Amino acid sequence: MPVKPYERGVAGKKLPGMKLVHHNSKLKPYNMSYKKGRTLIRPWGTINPDGSMQPWRDQSGNFGTSFFVQDMVCMGWGKDMRFTCFLEVEDGDNWPGGSPLQIFLDDMRGHPEYKPILFDRTANTFSALDNPKACGFLKGILIENAGRKYHSNPIWGALLVVPSSARESFDELLNRENSNAEDAGNTDADPHGWAKRYFVGDPIGFQDGKVFEFDKESAFEDTSGGINLDGTGRAQGDGGEIIEKYACRLWPDGSTLPIDPAHQEKVARYDQSFEDALRFMTGEEQINELIIPGFGRSCKEAVLYSFGGKGILPPSFETGRTTVDMGQGATEPSGAQPGTPSTPSMSQQRAAASTPVSDASSLVNLGGSGNDQPADEPPFEPDAQTEESAEPVQEEASAPSTGDEIRARLAAARNK
């Protein structure tokens, strides 16, 4: 499983198109909302079998995989169906040239006819293909997000998807050292002295864990009228609008939120290691669950350009023929269903395209009456809201292939 440790610089219902976690994962993904307000989260680390929590740094002082990891994410890709997933595959040895999504991205980026169709943005949405995003993943107790407050009944086992700028701000905050770091001493509870060396201290421990606040930079700016001539300014979008980065800080209203022994069992109940929770697909799964449903109806020519004739695509997709057992009840062929709006062909699309530490216990009720999680669905939305996508095309699954067979097919394709 290609879960990576953090390196500096670098709900109840299954949500359609969300492929970041396994369907039975204890951790439920939530996305920050850039437009709807701040996010408050109290992270925790992986719980050991004896009930203890894994440390937040390893012996070398690096972030471990206990509470925060990062990887490349395809965010909101697709034309016929939108999906969000990891770029890399679990069986990387079978795909030496990159995952199917990486191959498709590279092929389309360099194709003069397909590039405008798949990379250009349309009104009120975003492109079908885009650069993968370096996202972080932070697990713990969600207290506020997307304009919703859960102070009286916080969400346990939330997996917060942290976009690039928020990940950088979080990294800077946790790596900020105290001015008297050289005087930091070691204790039995902190044998390496990490808690005293760094400004935040222990961000995840049962007694010392912190509440982190994420919001747009302007929400944290000093409003006293001072002028910072060293400021680098903010980026501007294509329409001239200001694009602010995310900022991160300790929650001023209550930066420390202890988890007392009565609630530690609940942490263990909702916790899951990243290795068990995150879903890295195989190459075949990316093709059958993402590429074909996401692009196979309106951009079939593009899919065939990258993968056709290599023995990789399901025969029913590549040839358009299916085998029907006449002894069984007839089924309606896959594809557009009655009432489904027709999707323009790629030729039609080409023609169109030419035109200080305080205690948060009094503000957050970890006991929470009622259910452990709110009844409403976890809000997962990209920064730019997409239009409702069509139902995915149900395609015939390809026959199982061994690693040697796939490598042989790719090698034969390269020699053609």
Tens-place pLDDT, residues 89-123: 999 999 999 999 999 999 999 999 999 999 988 76
pLDDT of 403 > 90? The answer is no
Largest Cα–Cα distance of the chain, in whole Å? 81
> Phi and psi (nearest 5°) for 163?
-65, 170
Nearest to 214 by CA among 33, 22, 7: 33
307 vs 192: which has the higher pLDDT: 307
346 vs 303: which has the higher pLDDT: 303
pLDDT of residue 63: 78
From 36-45, 52-61, 142-151, 356-365, the region with the lowest mean pLDDT: 356-365
pLDDT of residue 411: 63
Beta-carbon contacts of residue 326 (< 8 Å; ≥ 6 apart): none
pTM: 0.75
pLDDT of residue 93: 94
pLDDT of residue 244: 80
* Cα distance between residue 135 and residue 170, in whole Å: 12
Q: What is the mean pLDDT of residues 65-76?
A: 93
pLDDT digits (tens, 9 = 90+) for 142-171: 999 989 999 999 999 999 999 999 999 999
Is the CB of residue 210 less than 8 Å from the CB of residue 200? yes
What is the pLDDT of the chain when averaged over all its residues?
78
pLDDT band at 271 (very low <50, low <70, confident <90, very high): very high
* Cα distance between residue 286 and residue 334, in whole Å: 19
pLDDT of 51 > 60? The answer is yes
Q: What is the mean pLDDT of residues 124-130?
A: 84
> Phi and psi (nearest 5°) for 256?
-105, 130
pLDDT of 197 > 50? The answer is yes
pLDDT band at 319 (very low <50, low <70, confident <90, very high): confident
What percent of the chain stands above pLDDT 90?
50
pLDDT of residue 391: 32
pLDDT of residue 381: 42
* Cα distance between residue 235 and residue 215, in whole Å: 17
pLDDT band at 383 (very low <50, low <70, confident <90, very high): very low
Tokens of 243: 């694009």
* Cα distance between residue 286 and residue 280, in whole Å: 9
pLDDT digits (tens, 9 = 90+) for 210-234: 999 999 988 887 543 333 334 444 4
Q: What is the mean pLDDT of residues 299-326?
A: 83
pLDDT band at 264 (very low <50, low <70, confident <90, very high): very high
Nearest to 318 by CA among 349, 291, 336: 291
pLDDT of residue 280: 97
* Cα distance between residue 85 and residue 281, in whole Å: 9
Hey, where are the domains in the chain?
28-221+236-281+357-394
330 vs 60: which has the higher pLDDT: 60
Highest mean pLDDT out of 313-322, 325-334, 397-406 = 313-322
